[in-house]
Structure 1
Amino acid sequence: MEYNKIIAVTGMPGLYELLSSKSDGAIVRSLDDKTTRFVASRSHNFSHLESIEVYTVRDNVNLVDVLKAMETSGEKLPDEKDGAALKAYFKKVFPDLDFDRVYSSDLKKMVKWFSVLKANEIEIKLSEPEEEAEEVEEGSPAKASVSEENPAPAKKAAKPAKESQDKKVKEEAAEEKPKAKKAAPKKKAEKEEKEEKPKKAAAKKKK
């Protein structure tokens, strides 16, 4: 079980492992009693522990920073119901907390969540960025350019071939046209001869 899969659900106590997300909610497993259930998003909100920040007197810090400080402090966890004890504990463990904006209910929640994480032996750390995905994205343009280079020579080669073919067709057509022109006078001469013969025959008959 990984820290980046742990979520808090509004209106439901404890922490949950996010098993799968759906358009209308999520399937979660309780870290307390290990029960699995579907939670509708229209009734509840989900918060990944990784995305939760805590107010301090300086810049906000990620919740993991506070939990890490609790883990390494060696201080005994206070009674969750004792507001004064909670505040005293966090003043020792993480004195930069802005106690005017971080309420006793928030301190109680952090102690509870810390106990649940430790009981389930979940390593408290932020997930590392996906380096492999970045490498693929950086490498993809190079792959794309190689694949685009291959068709280019084929296109260039195809164009001259088409031009030479068109040229050949034009030359053949040009050769055929003179032949047709030469044949035309011959047919005309034959026609004239046929027309002249009846005229001569008619002339003889007249005499």
Structure 2
Amino acid sequence: MSYNKMVSVTGLGGLFELVSSKADGGIVRSLEDKSTKFVSNRIHSFSHLESIEVFTKEDNVNLSEVFLAMKASKEPKPDAKADVKVIKAYFEKVYPDMDFERVYASDMKKMVKWAEILEKAGIEIKLTEHAEGNEETTLEDKPIVEKKAAAKISTPKAAAIKSGPAKKINTPRKMA
């Protein structure tokens, strides 16, 4: 299991590994009890942990940075069900740049709970290169062949639409 496959599912507690995705949902495996089930995207929405950002006083940071700061800290983690003041005091020591006016107490509780789940599952917290944005792609880097292939694919579709049957024009009949 890797960090880039971890998702949070609305309406379901805990974290899940995205095993497979389909057009109408995804197959997820719980990190806590290892149960696998299908989750419909009509009812639930998926949030990859790599895509979640946390508000700070300056720029937003990725959730993994907060997890790494929690892991590197000497402070003991509070229980996820602890009082809001205790959890807020913990984050003020661990990650003081967090914007506590915009980050809700429920979000801080989730971060503590998720960090515990990831630690128990033994998942290494790191971003993939794509999520970090280290890959800078410019127009010069992309081969011209891909652009031509895309143009060829779109041209037949346009031609197929235009070559349909001619429209019939109905005019009202004259009555004598």
Pairwise same-fold verdict (TM > 0.5): yes
- Scaled by the length of structure 1, the TM-score of the pair is 0.63
Q: 1:94 & 1:65 partners in 2: Cα distance?
A: 9
Question: 1:41-190 residue pairs with structure 2 within 5 A?
Answer: 41-81=41-81, 82-129=83-130
2:129 alignment partner, SS class: coil
> 1:151-193 CA deviation, whole Å, 9 max, x = no partner?
xxxxxxxxxxxxxxxxxxxxxxxxxxxxxxxxxxxxxxxxxxx
Q: 1:113 & 1:54 partners in 2: Cα distance?
A: 14
Name whichever of 46-55 and 96-105 sits farther off. 96-105
Map of 1:36 onto structure 2: 36
Q: 1:94 & 1:52 partners in 2: Cα distance?
A: 16
Q: What letter is aligned with 1:48?
A: H
> 1:58-80 CA deviation, whole Å, 9 max, x = no partner?
11111011001001012110122
Gaps of 5+ in 1: 143-207
Q: 1:31 & 1:104 partners in 2: Cα distance?
A: 23
- Scaled by the length of structure 2, the TM-score of the pair is 0.74
Which consecutive segments of 4 or more residues in structure 1 shift more than 4 A? 138-142
Q: 1:116 & 1:30 partners in 2: Cα distance?
A: 10
Q: 1:4 & 1:129 partners in 2: Cα distance?
A: 10
- State the structure with bigger RCO (CA 8 A, min sep 6), 1 or 2: 2
1:89 alignment partner, SS class: helix
Q: Identity of paired residues, percent?
A: 58
1:125 alignment partner, SS class: coil
Larger radius of gyration: 1
User: How many residues get paired?
Assistant: 142
Q: For the Cα contact (< 8 Å) 1:18–1:27, is it kept in 2? A: yes
Q: 1:66 & 1:79 partners in 2: Cα distance?
A: 17
CA RMSD, Structure 1 to Structure 2 (Å) = 2.6
Gaps of 5+ in 2: 146-176
Q: For the Cα contact (< 8 Å) 1:79–1:85, is it kept in 2? A: no
CA drift at 1:128: 2.2
> 1:16-48 CA deviation, whole Å, 9 max, x = no partner?
000010110000000000000000000000000
CA drift at 1:122: 0.4
Q: What letter is aligned with 2:95?
A: F
Q: For the Cα contact (< 8 Å) 1:78–1:86, is it kept in 2? A: yes
